[in-house]
Homo-oligomer: A and B are copies of this chain.
């Protein structure tokens, strides 16, 4: 258990805002669907130079699965040509005598070649093995059109015929994926063709990744977790404004976070949307504050004043809660628990970067308050000054030219970067990061 970050709190009371949840539900996107067929039949072979040690090689054309008859222990691997997120349909037909026993199929879905080659049963990590995309299906009546009810995230699909009977085999008339996304690709502006090729490829893959994560909400990842985490939402929403421009999806997510908080009004780090919106019992200092930044960016992109009117109190509440953690020196109190995320690095001390995130998000709140002339603007201005001053006084080590964090006065990238983003030092007092003046 020691390697598992402890995120679990006991019993919590959920404060539910029915109006907000209703708005969030009304914004549930109608998913865009597409039918994607596998491109070829492949094998995955050992290659020490390939990623994870496995290389993909073509074996035959895709229509082989229609012509060939597969019996007990036969299998094949399909390559869909690209990463896909969606639902699988399999049209399977008996060959030989009428099927006198059920058909048993095993399906393994892989984003990477390794996943369809190394058996999942050998997985021993701390993340739940139930995320491994594997199904065993029993089919009593043939021919059949199997529409698998679960969503998968994959490029490679291994189909194993566990058993038929001595009297029949099976062929596959069609196997396809009905992809789903709430991202409209037609809204993405093309990059100039003169741009560097590598940048173009990076851009393409980034956009596809975002597209695959855009479902009913912005998902952490479409394969594992599949949940709305506020840290992921912040970056995804920002990328979305420059690409798919699905403002409603961001709006929906903001209302979900504001719609179910703990009894203190703090937004959770993560929301479960099924069977009904439930906040995770994980609350993180920086994640709750990010609500303010996401709201700010949403307003800048959409100019949707109605949303600010609804959600401004939730944003202010996150700042109030964050301020309660300041000590007598106006510095965020540190502790040993998993109170702030910042980064997965277990050795990272969170104090200084958390202080910077607080300042960063308060400055976003102030910008909104000033633009919309909200009553909190003076309070915010005053507090930002105090906390920034405290950060420089207590956390900045002039000799090293770095911000230090926690009892051990550790120096981290995260602290420097966030302090720079929060513009804590005046422009003339540059901050050294990675030995350079930035």
- Inter-chain contact A130/B274, CB cutoff 8 Å: no
Q: Please tell me if A371 contacts chain B, counting CB pairs below 8 Å.
A: no
A167 in contact (CB, < 8 A) = yes
Chain B CB within 8 A of A379 CB? no
Segment of A24-32, A92-100, A193-201, A386-394 in the binding face: A92-100
Among B7, B130, B138, the residue within 8 A (CB) of A104 is B130
Contact between chains at B130 and A163 (CB < 8 Å): yes
Confirm or deny: A79 has a beta carbon within 8 angstroms of a beta carbon on chain B.
Answer: no
B130 touching A98, Cβ below 8 Å: no
Proximity bits, A139-165, B CB within 8 Å = 1, else 0? 011010000001000000000001111
In the assembled complex, the Cα of A102 lies from the Cα of B152 at a distance in Å of 13
The verdict on A281 contacting chain B, using a C-beta distance below 8 Å, is yes
Give Cα A163–Cα B120 distance, bound, in whole angstroms.
13
A128-B98 contact given A136-B136, A141-B275, CB 8 Å threshold: no
- Contact of A162 (CB < 8 Å), options: B130, B135, B162: B130
Contact call A281/B128, Cβ cutoff below 8 A: no
- A227 at the A/B interface (Cβ < 8 Å)? yes
Q: How large is the interface on A (under 10, 10 to 19, 20 to 34, 35 or more residues)?
A: 35 or more
**Is A128 a contact partner of B274 (Cβ separation < 8 A)?**
no
**B104 and A8: CB pair below 8 A?**
no
Q: Does A131 contact B (CB under 8 A)?
A: yes
Whether the pair A162, B272 counts as a contact (CB closer than 8 A) is no
Quick check: is A77 within 8 A (CB to CB) of the other chain? no
Q: Are A98 and B272 in contact (CB under 8 A)?
A: yes
Which B residues are in CB contact (< 8 Å) with A7? Answer: 97, 167
Q: Choose one: B1, B9, B140; the contact of A150 (CB below 8 Å).
A: B140
> CA–CA, A275 to B150, complex, Å?
25
Q: B163 to A281, Cβ gap below 8 A?
A: no
Answer yes or no: A183 CB below 8 A from chain B CBs: no
A225 interface residue per 8 A CB criterion: yes
A163 to B275, CA, bound (A): 20
In the bound complex, do residue A97 and residue B281 qualify as a contact, i.e. CB atoms below 8 Å apart? yes
- A141: chain B residues at CB < 8 Å are 274-275
Query: Pick the contact of A101 from B97, B102, B128, B281 — CB < 8 Å?
Result: B128
Determine if A103 is an interface residue (Cβ-Cβ < 8 Å). Answer: yes
Contacts of A143 in B (CB 8 A): 275
Determine whether the beta carbon of A98 is less than 8 Å from that of B278: yes
Kindly state whether residue A75 has any CB partner on chain B within 8 Å.
no
Residue A126 CB within 8 A of the other chain: yes
Q: Residue of B at shortest CB range from A9? A: B97
Q: Which residues from chain B contact A51 at a C-beta distance below 8 Å?
A: none
A129 on the B face (CB < 8 A)? yes
Q: Is A235 an interface residue (CB 8 A)?
A: no
CB atoms of B135 and A130 under 8 A apart: no
**A168 shortest CB reach to chain B, Å:** 9
State whether A150 touches B138 (Cβ < 8 A): yes
Checking B99, B136, B227 against A135 with a beta-carbon cut-off of 8 angstroms, the contacting residue is: B136
Partner pick for A96 among B1, B8, B100, B104, CB 8 A cutoff: B8
Q: Per-position contact with B for A205-243: 1 when CB-CB < 8 Å, else 0? A: 000000000000000000001010000000000000000
Are B8 and A164 touching (Cβ within 8 A)? no
Smallest CB-CB A-B distances: 9 pairs: A101-B128, A128-B165, A104-B130, A102-B130, A130-B163, A141-B274, A129-B163, A136-B136, A98-B272
* 15 further interface pairs, Cβ-Cβ under 8 Å (given A7-B167, A100-B225): A7-B97, A8-B167, A9-B97, A72-B128, A98-B272, A98-B278, A98-B281, A100-B272, A101-B127, A101-B128, A103-B130, A130-B163, A130-B164, A130-B165, A135-B136
